[in-house]
Amino acid sequence: MKKHKELGQKSASIAKELDALNLRMGKIDEELINLREQKAYAQPRSHALSEKLKSRFGEKDGFFGKASELCTYKPEYAYAVEAAAGSRFEYLVVDSIDTANKMIGYMKESGLGRATFIPIKELRQQADAGEEKGVKSMVEFVKFDKAYERYSPTRSEAPI
């Protein structure tokens, strides 16, 4: 009889825990849907801006494109890489501050809004965080052209 009571209490405790986890999972699902909607809303504008700038400026002018366009990674790492990079994937990569200033002027004249630029020549080499307790740096999972190796949009505290 005592065992039966203990099992009943344990079962009730597990059921309560399960309810709490289901509630938490529902909130996480809502947040995920919200984030996906925000991403879907932001991407077309960002893509349109990038395309307009590409039509006016090219690589010969010092404009290389969005950070997300300049690297590759395996599909199984997509969520981790994109989470680590966050909005930095939307940054525009240029050769110098002068190029960024020219593009900013064009954007103001054309009413294209705002953007964040990465001037490759002016960047300082970032120190590698290294491997800590078997956790690899996100940059190990992303491949990008040697021209951009001084900047990695995935440099972050996010381990995988």
| pLDDT digit string, tens, across residues 80-119 | 888 888 888 889 999 999 999 999 999 999 888 889 999 9
The CATH fold of domain 2-148: Taq DNA Polymerase; Chain T, domain 4 (1.20.1060)
Residues 6+ positions from 120 with CB-CB distance below 8 Å: 64, 93, 94, 95, 96, 147, 148, 150, 151
Residue 132, beta-bridge partner list = 135
The whole-number average pLDDT for the span 136-141 is: 64
What is the reported pTM?
Answer: 0.58
Percentage above 90 pLDDT, the chain: 22
Where do the domains of the chain lie? 2-148
The better pLDDT of the pair 2, 26 is held by 26
